[in-house]
Amino acid sequence: MTNNSIYENNPLHGVGLEQVVTELVEHYGFEILYAYLNLNCFKTKPSVASSVKFLKKTDWAKDKVEGFYLYQYKNLPRADSSQFELPPRDRIVPAHHQPKPPAELSFEDAEHLRQKRAKKARERSATPDNPWAR
């Protein structure tokens, strides 16, 4: 097995960032992408070109969008902990994991997810071993 062939089941294999953003925008729209990902490139004068330009310069945001593409749009099972540490393009998707129809998303679910993340962040910051805790 060559190094290249282990990535071939990854839906990002051979797909450019512009195509990823275009597919997401065509399916979900900028509003849902902003609601779920909280990236201003999807809120302030959004366009595919400006979003791609921002994402190419910002690795953490690009990884966030590509992860969303894998686990929401392609609806793959979540990566295991060892794979989750890797950028989405470098993850090995097991051969028996095949893309499914895109996940149904709503603004209500996005808000629930935002609240859940905020709660987890508050809990993390409140731990005694956190040097930034007040």
Angle between helices 17-28 and 59-68 (to 10 degrees): 50
Same domain flag for 84 and 113 = no
Give the global pTM: 0.84
Ranges of residues in the chain whose predicted pLDDT is under 70: 1-7, 128-134
Same domain flag for 51 and 82 = yes
Same domain flag for 80 and 22 = yes
CATH of the domain at 69: 1.10.720.30
Distance of CA 21 to the CA centre of its chain: 11
Same domain flag for 10 and 40 = yes
Query: pLDDT digit string (tens) for 73-108?
Result: 999 998 888 888 999 999 988 888 889 999 999 999
Same domain flag for 65 and 120 = no
Contact 89, 66 (CB under 8 A): yes
Residue with tokens 């609806």: 75
What is the structure's pLDDT at 87? 93
The Cα–Cα gap between 109 and 72 comes to 13
Q: Which domain holds residue 58?
A: 5-103
Contact 36, 65 (CB under 8 A): no
What is the structure's pLDDT at 32? 96
What is the structure's pLDDT at 1? 46
Same domain flag for 85 and 111 = no
